[in-house]
Structure 1
Amino acid sequence: MTTTEADTATTKPVPDGIARQIVLPEGHRDEVALFAAYKWLRENNPLAQVHVEGYDPLWLVTKHADLMEVERQPDVFTSGGGEEKGSHNPILANQAGDAFTKSLTGGSLRILETVTYLDPPEHTAVKDVANDWFRPANLKRWEDTVRKLAREAIDGKLEVGVNEIDLVKDWAIYYPLHVVMTLFGVPEEDEPRMMGLTQDFFGTADPDTARADVEPLSPEAAAQQWAAAIQDFYAYFDSLVEARRAEPREDLASIIANARKEDGEFWPKTFAYGWFVAIATAGHDTTTTTLAATLEALSYHPETLAAVQQDPKLIGDLVNEGLRWASPVKHFVRRATRDYELRGRTIHEGDRLMLLYQSGNRDEDVFPEPTTFDISRRPNRQIAFGYGPHMCIGQHLAKQELRIMFEELLPRIRSIEVIGERKVMQTNFVGGLKNLPVRLELA
C-alpha cells in the first residue's frame, strides 16, 4: 500500500467543531484550540473536504508537501478564476459576502486588481512592474534608511529602564508601517489614515475593528467592510497616482504609477491602486505580527534571547523561526481548473481548496517538535510567504525590516516579560496578536 493509499484508508470524518474552528474567523481567536484543530486534521484527515454552514464546500489543505504541490501549479489551482477571470475569490468569504461583492462588480469576485487575484501570464506581467525594486540587491540601498527608522522606533517610543506597554498596540504596529510608507513615498502625516484603513481591511470579522458604516452582524458584513476600505484606499491613492505621474520621485509609488504595458500605455489606474493597497496593507501588517510574536517567544525563552545577544549572526535564524512561528498569512483559497489527484483523493474541477499555511508550518513531517520555538532549525523550510509564483514579493523587505530591528533592539533588552492577557485578531486571513501587555526593560 502506498503512503497516499494508507492516508486515504485511515482518514476519519471531520467533526463539525474542527471544521468551524478553522473556517470561521471567530475560531482564530483561540490559538490553542486552533492549532489543536490543525494537528487533528494532519493526523486524522490531512486533506479533508468540509461543509460549514454559510460557506461553499472546501478542501482543507494542512500538510506542507500538499501546500507546495498546489502552489507550484497555478494552471491547475487558480487564484483568480483561470479562464473565467473573476469567478473565484482567493480570500475566503462566506456565500453572502461573495454575493455582495458580485453585486458591486456586476458579477465578478475580482474586487481588487492586484497580484493576489491574478493568474499567470497576467500575474507575471503585473508582478514585473515592481519585482526588481523588491530584489535584495535594490533593497540594500535602503538599509541605512531602514536602520534609521528602527532606531527612531526604539528611541522615540521606548525609554531606558522599565517600559510597561502593550507591545503590539503601543509599539510594534508603528515601525513596519513607517518603513513601508517611507519607502513607498506616503507623507508621514498620512500614516494614521493608512493605519486605520489597514485595520479596516484585515479586521473585517473582528468586532473591535468594525467600521461604523457597516451593518454589524449581517452575513455580508465582512465583504461590506472590505469593499468600503478598498474604496477609501482608492480615493486616497488616486491623487498619489496623479502626483507621481506629474512629478516622479525616487520612490516605489513613482515606479508603480508610471509603469507602462507593452503597448506603451500606462497600466490602468486600478492596477496601480491594487499595488498600493497590497503594499500599504500586507507590507506592514504581516511584519508587525511577526515582530510581536517573535518577541513574545523570546520572553518565554530567555536562553534564546541570550544566545542571540551573544552572537548576532543568529538573527537570520531568529527571523526565519519567527516567521514560521507567527505565520501571519493564514490562508489563501485556490480553485481546481481540472480533476487532480492529491494525497490519494480526487479534487474535482471547480472544487475550492483552503491552503492552511499555519498548519503547514507546524507539520511534524517537516519540523521536528513544531510547537517548540527553536532557532537552530536547519534547514527551516517555513512557508510563511507562500510558495511558487504567488510567493510574497515583499519577503526580502520584510526580512530586512525584522533583521534590522532585532539588530538594534535585542542588544538593549535586559528583560522582557508578558504581564497581561494576550489577545488575537478575529480573522482567518491575515493577522495575529493585537494586544500583548509586557514589561520591557532596556539598557
Structure 2
Amino acid sequence: MQNFNFFDLDQFAQGTPHEAFARFRREQPISWHSIPHAPAGEGFWLVARHKDICEVARQPKIFFSHGSSVLSDSVDIPHPAWKMIRDGLCHLDAPQHGELRRMVMPQFGAEAMSALQTVIRKRAVEVLDRAQEKGEIDLVSDIAARFPVRVVYGDVLGFADEDLPSAAFWGDLFNRVHAIPTGDREFADVMHASGVALDKLYRYGVAAYQSRRASPRNDVLSVLANIGYDDGSAISQEDFLSYFWSLAIGAYDTTASTIASGFATLAAHPKQQEALYADPSLIESAVEEMLRWETPVIYFRRTASEDYVLNGQAIRKGQRVVMCFSSGNRDGDVFESPEVFDIRRRHNPHLSFGHGAHFCLGARLARIELRMLFEEVVARQLRFRPTGPTARARSNFINRIVRMPVVLESADLVTMSFN
C-alpha cells in the first residue's frame, strides 16, 4: 500500500480510487502518508473506515479544524483577505464555531428552506427548459453547475445576476487551490490566479457587507450583515467575511458534483434508471445513494491537539488526520453491498455532508435542490447520449465531473407534476 500516492492528481482525474481505499479499509484502516516537497517527517494519517472517521469528527476538541481543513496548512499573512480564509466557518473551533454557526442556522433551517421551494423548482424548470431547447449541451455547465449557482448564489445569497459567473469561478478556483500540491505541474498557474481572485473576492465581500448594512435586501447576506451578537452589538465586518468566504466557496460544489455524477451513474446503471423513472417515489432514496456513491468531497483534514489512540493507532499531538469520506461511504461494516448502486437503499448513513459539529450547514438546501431537479428530470423522462469524452477534476479533494458533452433526449412517455 505504500506505493499509493494520494497526491497523484492524474489518478483522481480517472475517478475516485475506490480499489485502493478498499485495500486500506482491509489492511491499514489508519495509514501514514508522507507529503511530497515537505520537510522530512511531514505527513498525515489517512482514516479509511466509517466508524473511525465518525470518532474523529465527534471530538473537535481533540481533532481541531483551525490549522486547516485541507492538507496544506493555513498561511499567516498580514492581509485581511488571508484572515477571512483562516477564520472561515469550516476552519473554526469551539466556542467560536458554535456561536457563529448558531447565528446563521435559521437561514438554512426547515422554515427558511420551505419558503424557497417554489423558487427552487422554478429554477430547475428554467434550467431544464433551456438545456432541452439547446439539445446538444455540456451537462456540467448547462445543468449541473448552472442550477445550483443560480439558486445558491443568486436566490439565497443575493449575488447580482451579472456576478454569478464570477462567483462560480471563485468557487471552482479556490477548491482547486485546496487540492493542488507543491510541485504539481499546475501549481504556479493556479496559485497566481488565486492571488488575483482572492483580492477580488475580498473586495466583493466588503462591498456586500457595507451595502447590506446600509440597505438590507431579501437575501442571506443581508441577514448576516445585520445580525446581532448575544450582547446586542452588530456583527463585525471580519465575522461577516468569515461567513461570506465559507458560503461563497462551499455554496454549490457538492450539489453540482452530485447532479453531474447522478446523471452519469444512472446512465451506467440502466436498470436503476428505469426503476427510478417508473417510480418517482424513489427519488429521495436515489438522491441519498447518489451522494454516497460519488462522494463529492473526498476528505476533510483535522489536526490532533493531543496524543490519542484511534482504533489501536497512536496519533501524536500536531499530526494531520484525514477523514476520507469517499472511503467511509463504501465501508462494508456499515453499508450492505457497498459496491452496488442501489436507489432503494434504506440504511444510508453516508458521510457526504460530513459528521459532527461541522456537518454541512447547507445540507438541507442541497437535498431540496437535488430532489427537485431530479423530480423534473423524471417527469420529462430525460436521458442523455454522450457526444464526447467526460473530463473529471484533477483533485484529491473535490470529486467532480467538469465536462460532459451530451445530447438530451426525452422519451415523453408520461407527464407528471410535483407542484
Instruction: Provide TM-score, normalisation by structure 2.
Output: 0.90
CA RMSD of aligned residues (A): 2.5
Cα distance between partner residues in 1 of 2:78 and 2:149: 30
Q: Name 1:137's counterpart in structure 2.
A: 111
Q: 1:172 Cα deviation (Å)?
A: 1.5
Aligned 1:90-101 pairs, distance under 5 A: 90-93=69-72, 98=73, 101=75
Seq. identity, %:
31
Cα distance between partner residues in 2 of 1:259 and 1:61: 38
Q: Name 1:403's counterpart in structure 2.
A: 371
Q: 1:25 Cα deviation (Å)?
A: 3.7
Q: Name 2:417's counterpart in structure 1.
A: none
Q: 1:265 Cα deviation (Å)?
A: 2.5
Instruction: String of CA shifts for 1:311-366, please: whole Å, max 9, x gaps.
Output: 22111101101111221111111111111111111111111101111111111222
Aligned 1:99-118 pairs, distance under 5 A: 101-104=75-78, 111-118=85-92
Q: Name 1:79's counterpart in structure 2.
A: 65
Q: Name 1:361's counterpart in structure 2.
A: 329
Q: 1:277 Cα deviation (Å)?
A: 2.6
Q: Which amino acid aligns with 1:289?
A: S
Cα distance between partner residues in 1 of 2:127 and 2:23: 41
Q: Which amino acid aligns with 1:31?
A: G
1:278 to 246, 254, 259: 246
2:2 to 15, 24, 41: 15
**1:299 aligned to 2:255?**
no
SS at match of 1:130: helix
Q: Name 2:93's counterpart in structure 1.
A: 119
Cα distance between partner residues in 1 of 2:252 and 2:30: 31
Cα distance between partner residues in 1 of 2:198 and 2:100: 19
Alpha-carbon spacing, 1:195–1:220, altered in 2? closer, same or farther (3 Å) = same
Alpha-carbon spacing, 1:102–1:66, altered in 2? closer, same or farther (3 Å) = same
SS at match of 2:385: strand
Q: 1:295 Cα deviation (Å)?
A: 0.8
Instruction: String of CA shifts for 1:225-284, please: whole Å, max 9, x gaps.
Output: 545433321111211111111111221111111122233333221221222232223121
Q: Name 2:172's counterpart in structure 1.
A: 199
Alpha-carbon spacing, 1:73–1:226, altered in 2? closer, same or farther (3 Å) = farther
Structure 2 unaligned spans of 5+: 413-419
Q: Name 1:47's counterpart in structure 2.
A: 30
Instruction: String of CA shifts for 1:76-95, please: whole Å, max 9, x gaps.
Output: 11011xxxxxxx122222xx
Q: Which amino acid aligns with 1:143?
A: Q
SS at match of 1:159: helix
Q: Which amino acid aligns with 1:174?
A: R
Cα distance between partner residues in 1 of 2:179 and 2:65: 25
Alpha-carbon spacing, 1:205–1:389, altered in 2? closer, same or farther (3 Å) = closer
**Contact 2:173 2:190 survives alignment (8 Å):** no
Cα distance between partner residues in 2 of 1:394 and 1:380: 19
Aligned 1:333-344 pairs, distance under 5 A: 333-344=301-312
Q: 1:105 Cα deviation (Å)?
A: 5.6
Q: 1:104 Cα deviation (Å)?
A: 5.0
Q: 1:186 Cα deviation (Å)?
A: 1.2
**1:31 aligned to 2:18?**
no
Alpha-carbon spacing, 1:138–1:205, altered in 2? closer, same or farther (3 Å) = closer
Q: 1:218 Cα deviation (Å)?
A: 7.9
Q: Name 2:292's counterpart in structure 1.
A: 324
Q: Which amino acid aligns with 1:386?
A: G
Q: Name 1:11's counterpart in structure 2.
A: none
Instruction: String of CA shifts for 1:127-155, please: whole Å, max 9, x gaps.
Output: 11210111122210111011111111111
Aligned length: 405
**1:176 aligned to 2:148?**
yes
Aligned 1:154-303 pairs, distance under 5 A: 154-159=128-133, 163-181=135-153, 182-204=155-177, 217=185, 225-303=193-271
**Contact 2:15 2:399 survives alignment (8 Å):** no
**Contact 1:200 1:226 survives alignment (8 Å):** yes
Alpha-carbon spacing, 1:327–1:226, altered in 2? closer, same or farther (3 Å) = farther
Alpha-carbon spacing, 1:250–1:241, altered in 2? closer, same or farther (3 Å) = same
SS at match of 2:103: coil
Q: Which amino acid aligns with 1:158?
A: Q
Structure 1 unaligned spans of 5+: 1-13, 81-87, 208-214
Cα distance between partner residues in 1 of 2:225 and 2:84: 21
Q: Name 2:360's counterpart in structure 1.
A: 392
Instruction: String of CA shifts for 1:347-389, please: whole Å, max 9, x gaps.
Output: 1111110111111111122223323211121211111000000
**Contact 2:261 2:290 survives alignment (8 Å):** yes
SS at match of 1:417: strand
Cα distance between partner residues in 1 of 2:313 and 2:361: 32
Q: Which amino acid aligns with 1:44?
A: E
SS at match of 1:267: coil
Cα distance between partner residues in 1 of 2:382 and 2:360: 34
SS at match of 2:133: coil
